[in-house]
Amino acid sequence: MSYETLELDVRDGGIATLTMNRPDQLNALNEQVIDDLTAAVDELSGRDDVRVLVVTGKGRAFVAGADIKQMHGFEEAEAKAFADKGHAAMDALSKLPYPVIAAVNGFALGGGLELALACDLIYASDKARLGLPEVGLGIIPGFGGTQRLGRTIGWHHARELVFSGRHVKADEALRMGLVCAVFPAEEFIDKVYALAEKIAANGPVAVRVAKRVMREGSELPLDKANALERDSFGELFMTDDRSEGMQAFLEKREANFTGK
């Protein structure tokens, strides 16, 4: 399926790439982009051949924020509806069953950082700039930024970034724990794909279960989260991938996982 504002590609090995494709507008999020993102995530959720998704942007921005030209004319009801639509898209992305990597190649501001925060892992180019500058426009983050940022880097750093609206460079984002790693721009996407390939080479059932247990467990009391882990650990011993993975280890060869 083709989309007006983004590109979706699935390569051999189970790695999909979702590229935001409005480079002349720095990939700003408007209603069409959100609609396309929602549809693409729905398509991806139904594919059994995907093991990892990489989200990135075309040009010099990941996503530079929401489209202010469109939002400028909103009344309260329209703004709320736009936020509802954005939240639904980010939530759907975050709930994909396999790992989602944000490859932040440039500006990730406002809705762009919120998009990255909806992913499981964030990697940044050394040219990246990240922030939630909405208060400078007289609004607040509306696609989950006030909640996901604090859950990622801690509430003190999150409050400082939201209240000040300042941008941070990639190296500061790394120190904060906002990104997993920073790579030079000229080798950035190759480094990200190397990491994606490493994830995709592992047992896909186990990786999906690990994501689910970590996501669901983070919202449970520790004793219940540990019980979820124990149950899931045991259930994996009934899978073909577990048998293949352990047999391959004992035979000192690469495992041939089938996702079953």
Assess whether 134 carries a catalytic annotation: yes
| Mean pLDDT, residues 151-174 | 97
pLDDT of residue 92: 98
Q: Give phi and psi for 81, each to the nearest 5.
A: -65, -40
pLDDT of residue 232: 98
Instruction: Report yes or no on 42 lying in a domain.
Output: yes
Instruction: Report yes or no on 186 lying in a domain.
Output: yes
Instruction: Report yes or no on 1 lying in a domain.
Output: no
| Shared-domain flag, residues 190 and 217 | no
In the set 31, 134, 186, 254, the catalytic residue is: 134
| Shared-domain flag, residues 146 and 239 | no
Instruction: Report yes or no on 260 lying in a domain.
Output: no
| Shared-domain flag, residues 106 and 229 | no
| Shared-domain flag, residues 209 and 178 | no
Domain that holds residue 211: 204-250
Which of 184, 200, 216 marks a domain boundary? 200
Instruction: Report yes or no on 161 lying in a domain.
Output: yes
pLDDT class for 120, splitting at 50, 70, 90? very high
pLDDT of residue 234: 98
The single residue listed with the structure tokens 């051949």 is 49
pLDDT of residue 14: 95
Instruction: Report yes or no on 259 lying in a domain.
Output: no
| Shared-domain flag, residues 90 and 184 | yes
pLDDT of residue 1: 76
| Shared-domain flag, residues 156 and 221 | no
pLDDT at 27 exceeding the cut of 90 = yes
pLDDT at 169 exceeding the cut of 80 = yes
In the set 4, 31, 75, 114, the catalytic residue is: 114
Instruction: Report yes or no on 196 lying in a domain.
Output: yes
Instruction: Report yes or no on 210 lying in a domain.
Output: yes
Assess whether 244 carries a catalytic annotation: no
Lowest mean pLDDT among 1-5, 175-179, 235-239: 1-5
How many domains are there within the chain?
2
Instruction: Provide the edge-to-edge strand list for the sheet that holds 181-183.
Output: 6-11, 15-20, 52-57, 100-104, 121-125, 181-183
pLDDT of residue 93: 98
Distance CA 238, CA 40 (A): 32
Write down how long the chain is: 260
The CATH number linked to 179 is 3.90.226.10
Residues 172-192 have pLDDT tens digits of 999 999 999 999 999 999 999
- How far lies 54's CA from each of 122, 123, 195, in Å? 10, 10, 10
Which of 176, 200, 224 marks a domain boundary? 200
Residues 44-102 have pLDDT tens digits of 998 889 999 999 999 999 999 988 888 898 999 999 999 999 999 999 999 999 999 99
pLDDT of residue 12: 85
For the entire predicted model, the pTM comes to 0.94
| Shared-domain flag, residues 169 and 187 | yes
Distance CA 234, CA 134 (A): 46
| Mean pLDDT, residues 23-35 | 95
| Shared-domain flag, residues 34 and 126 | yes
Task: Answer for the pair 146, 165: CB distance below 8 angstroms, yes or no.
Answer: no
Q: In the predicted model, what is the mean pLDDT of the chain?
A: 96
